[in-house]
Chains A and B, each alone.
Chain A
Amino acid sequence: MSTVIRRWYPTKSVITLVVWIWIILLLTISLRRFNLFGAQAFDLGIFQQGVWLLANGFYPFVTIRGWHIFANHFSPILFVFVPFYKFFPHPFWLFLGQTAALALGVIPLYRLALRHTQNELTATFIAIGYLLHPAIMTMLFFDFHPVLLSIPFVLWAIDALDENRPSPFFIACFLALLCREDVAVSVACLGLYGFLVRRRWWSGAMVLFSVLWFVFATKMMAVLSGEEKTAYLSLYSKWGKTPLQIVLGILANPLEAIKALIFCEGHFTQPGAYPMLLLAPFAFFPLFSGTFILFALPNYAVLALSDWRAMRELGFQHAAIIAPWLAASLPFAFRKLQELVDRNWQVKWQKVLLSTFTLCLTVSFLRYVPHTYRHFHTNILPKEQARQIKAFLSEVIPPDASVSAPSQFVPHLAHRREIYLFPNPFQRAGYGPSAETLKQLDGRLWVKPLKVKAMHRRMEEKRVDYIVLKAGRHNTWPLKPDYYEQTAVTVLTCRSYGVFAVKGDIVVLKRGANFDLGLLKLGVSTWQLISERGREKALEKAVKEAWERLREGSKWEGDSHFSMVP
């Protein structure tokens, strides 16, 4: 059997070429999105700051998220990036890591496919299909997520289990567990599949180990966040409070659970569309893989039964839990389908199977991938403008200063000890370890702007060196556009900060800078307002007008110099 895999087929060269093109293309897309300010504080900024803190020997409390890096998700695999970050701190390493990891999943999948189908062409189609599945490929459009690193390990573990090789199985499972706490579900299912279906007694040990690991990881997350239990369990509060209660709650309400599994919906995804988005690109073949796909169900349930609607959208990292199962089900499905038809018709049947698979993949790719690409690139800036902003921010803000900035600027300022997502730390929004925070992340709960006096008081108390604001109604999360603008005007009228520099529609405030001189840069003369009655109200009105001018009339072309208040 192993000689079949070891032989060098011409198709292996094709796969190698496709993998290289795929890596280069997706790495370019990720880097371009980052360079053009399309990447966000959540989640690239979080992992950038976390890895940077680890690399520099600081306590890894991620101020963007208000959590210890391993309280957010238990992903010790992030230590892999530390030496690279010491050498050159840039998200390039994170993008390279996850893109290469996803691409390397092709190797165990190809081995598995070749072993089961005994047909190099089918194995090649399966391997390439894995790379082009919309739910798998589009995960790379959205920032960086360590859970993606688990995909090749789970595939490797499936391959090792299939080939009856305990040592690689255990190593792969352990590495997968290091990627995120909920990968334990995947590993436990795999162990159970090996034990019950493939009669590999040693894989049963992995069930026990992954359960223990999950308990340990969630406990660690709770301890590091200073809470009784991790907030992520609240996503399944409909079914129970603890992991055991959740499992029992699902089993006790089978009809409700089945309904939720089939008709789950996302932010935009209609009820029932998500499972089809997973299955249709693979021509619904995973359904024919027999018992194997049954063991994938708990992984799918993690996505479908959660309150977090983003879990059921293409382009988000959550599909990483189900992706290796979907891909690995293909070799089993192809073998089963091949066996059903008479030997005399095998050649024609193979062609039908491959044509169906290729057509479904092509249609799905054309229908879903460009749309998802556009969705994650809506906020990117023109190249020249992005270059100018990058130069502006690096010149105005010292590398060790603490900063509060809107989401799209955070990744470019993330390599420091204190970087906050505006309006944090003055007003909590999407910050800290609570169930409310998770609701804010999913857009189910929005914080309202603080009253002017309360906000000013907090700005006096919380010592942040710089605040970056961008006039505009796009990309204002965690605040609604109206609330963001209202908060920005409140911030501009606080005397603890002064406008330090303005470029285009970007305003940088510095703590302790001259307030009156700073507002002059926005065309607001506080001296003229002294004579007016209700001075504070008049100031607010003038700043609001200045903000609107900034939003409407900012010019970037040819605006190569920025103005700074001395």
Chain B
Amino acid sequence: MGRRQSLQHGAIAVGIVGGILVGAVGALMRQFMVYFVPSFGLYSSVDLTVHALIALCVGFGMKEIAGKFWLLSGLVMGTVAVATMALFPISAHSLPPFSWTMLTVFPASLAGMALKEVSEEEESEGQIG
């Protein structure tokens, strides 16, 4: 029971840190991309796509650490990624405006972990076969 609980805590920690990582990479992309892609405004389709792709990659990469509680981890990661997008100040004085469109990032992290789970299952089935 204790072991299971600690695994759950680990998965939650992975989700939280992963979500912050998604927000941070996204913020860094916003910082630089705006110079090259003028349409890279806050919550533009480019911005949301880039964030979703980052979430997908981070989720894919961190699934191993989350272990069998990847679903929990993915949900937490999605939530925290959305929260980080809303709470990481965009300047020395202001937070980004809230927009429901940022919720599109939420399923991406879950999808990243799910993809990894599928690929791991296929890999293990291949080894057995």
Contact of B27 among A272, A345, A363, A372 (CB under 8 A): A363
Task: Kindly state the separation between the CA atoms of A359 and B67 in the bound complex, as whole angstroms.
Answer: 25
CA–CA, A337 to B16, complex, Å?
Answer: 10
Tell whether A280 pairs with B10 under 8 Å between CB atoms, given A345-B65, A352-B21. Answer: no
**Chain B residues with CB below 8 A from A352, complex form:** 14, 17-18, 21, 62, 65
Contact B88 A266 (CB under 8 A): no
Determine the chain A residues whose CB is within 8 A of the CB of B89 once the complex forms.
273, 276-277, 280, 364, 367-368
Query: Which among B41-49, B90-98, B104-112, B115-123 touches the partner chain?
Result: B90-98
Say yes or no: B25 contacts A276, CB within 8 Å.
no
Q: How far is the CA of A387 from the CA of B119 in the complex (A)?
A: 69
A367 smallest CB distance to B (angstroms)? 6
If the complex has contacts A352-B65, A353-B17, A367-B89, are A272 and B95 also in contact, measured as CB distance less than 8 A?
yes
Q: B58 to nearest A CB, angstroms?
A: 9
The interface residues of chain B lying within 8 Å CB-to-CB of A364 are 89
A134 to B16, CA, bound (A): 23
What residue in chain B is nearest A358 (Cβ atoms)?
Answer: B24
Neighbouring A residues of B12 by C-beta, 8 Å: 340
User: Does A342 have its Cβ within 8 Å of any Cβ on chain B?
Assistant: yes
The interface bits of chain A over 335-378 (1 if a CB of B lies within 8 angstroms of the residue's CB, else 0) are: 00100111001001100110110011011101110011001000
With A340-B13, A341-B65, A342-B67 known as contacts, the answer to whether A360 contacts B20 (CB < 8 A) is yes
Inter-chain CA distance A375–B91, complex, in Å, is: 13
Interface: B39 (CB within 8 A): no
Min CB distance B91 to A, Å, is 6
CA distance A362 to B67 in the complex (A): 30
In the complex with contacts A342-B10, A345-B65, A134-B17 CB distance below 8 A: no
Q: Say which size band chain A's interface belongs to.
A: 35 or more
In the bound complex, residues from chain B placing their C-beta under 8 Å from that of A284 are 20, 84
Query: With A and B bound together, what is the CA distance between A314 and B92 in angstroms?
Result: 7
Interface residue from A273, A345, A356 paired with B17 (Cβ < 8 Å):
A356
Complex interface: chain A residues within 8 A of B91 (CB)? 367-368, 371
* Distance A268 CA – B93 CA, assembled complex (angstroms): 6
The residue that B13 contacts in the complex, of A269, A341, A360, with Cβ under 8 A, is A341
In the complex where A283-B20, A340-B6, A341-B13 touch, is A359 in contact with B92 (Cβ < 8 A)? Answer: no
A270 within 8 A of B: yes
* Contact indicator per residue, chain A 290-332, by CB within 8 Å of chain B (1) or not (0): 0000000000000000000000001000000000000000000
Residues from chain A with a CB closer than 8 A to the CB of B13 are: 337, 340-341
Question: Which of A269, A345, A353, A363 lies in contact with B31, CB distance below 8 A?
Answer: A363
Bitwise interface map of B from 1 to 35 toward A, beta carbon under 8 Å scored 1, else 0: 00000110110111011101100110110010000
Interchain CA distance A359-B94 in the complex, whole Å: 19
Given the complex, which residues of B lie within 8 Å of A341, measured CB to CB? 10, 13-14, 65
- In the complex, the answer to whether A359 meets B28 with C-beta atoms within 8 Å is yes
User: Which A residues lie within 8 Å of B90 (CB)?
Assistant: 367
- Asked if B87 is at the interface of the complex by the 8 Å CB criterion, the answer is yes
* A366–B24 CB distance below 8 A: no
A356 touches B24 (CB 8 A): yes
B:40-72 near A, CB below 8 Å: 62, 64-65, 67
Instruction: Name the residue on B nearest A267 (C-beta).
Output: B93
Chain B: minimal CB distance from A137 (Å): 12
**Complex contact A277–B92 (CB within 8 A):** yes
Closest-by-CB residue of A relative to B12 is A340
Query: Would you list which residues of chain A between 121 and 153 have a CB under 8 Å from chain B?
Result: 134
Q: Give the docked Cα–Cα distance between A273 and B94 (Å).
A: 6
Min distance, Cβ B94 to any Cβ of chain A, angstroms: 5
> If A356-B17, A359-B25 touch, does A340 touch B10 (CB 8 Å cutoff)?
yes
**Which A residues between 541 and 555 are near B, CB-CB below 8 angstroms?**
none
Contacts of A337 in B (CB 8 A): 13, 17
CA distance A375 to B95 in the complex (A): 19
- B86 to chain A minimum Cβ distance, whole angstroms, is 10
Interface positions of A from 157 to 196, Cβ below 8 Å from B: none
> Is there an interface contact between A273 and B95, defined as CB atoms closer than 8 Å?
yes
Whether A359 and B24, one on each chain, are in contact in the complex, defined by CB atoms closer than 8 angstroms, is yes
The residue in A266, A340, A345 that gathers the most chain B C-beta atoms within 10 A of its C-beta is A340
List A residues 224-275 near B (Cβ within 8 Å). Answer: 266, 268-270, 272-273
Nearest CB on B from A308, distance (A): 17
Residue in A269, A342, A363, A366 whose CB lies within 8 Å of B88: A363
Q: Which of A505-538 contact B (CB under 8 A)?
A: none
- Minimum Cβ distance to chain A for residue B5 (Å): 11
* Nearest-CB residue, chain B, relative to A361: B24
Q: How far is the CB of A65 from chain B (nearest CB, A)?
A: 28
Identity of the chain A residue whose Cβ is nearest the Cβ of B95 in the assembled complex? A273
Q: How far is the CA of A48 from the CA of B18 in the complex (A)?
A: 48
Are the CB atoms of B92 and A356 closer together than 8 Å?
no
Contacts of B92 in A (CB 8 A): 134, 268-269, 277, 314, 367-368, 371-372, 375
Q: A280-B88, A341-B13 are in contact. List 5 more A-B contacts (CB 8 A).
A: A276-B89, A349-B65, A352-B18, A363-B28, A367-B91
Binding site for A on B (CB under 8 A): 6-7, 9-10, 12-14, 16-18, 20-21, 24-25, 27-28, 31, 62, 64-65, 67, 84, 87-95
5 nearest A-B pairs in the assembled complex, by CB-CB distance: A359-B24, A340-B13, A368-B92, A356-B21, A268-B93
Subset of 11 A-B contacts with CB under 8 Å = A269-B94, A270-B94, A273-B95, A277-B89, A283-B24, A345-B65, A355-B21, A356-B17, A359-B25, A359-B28, A360-B20
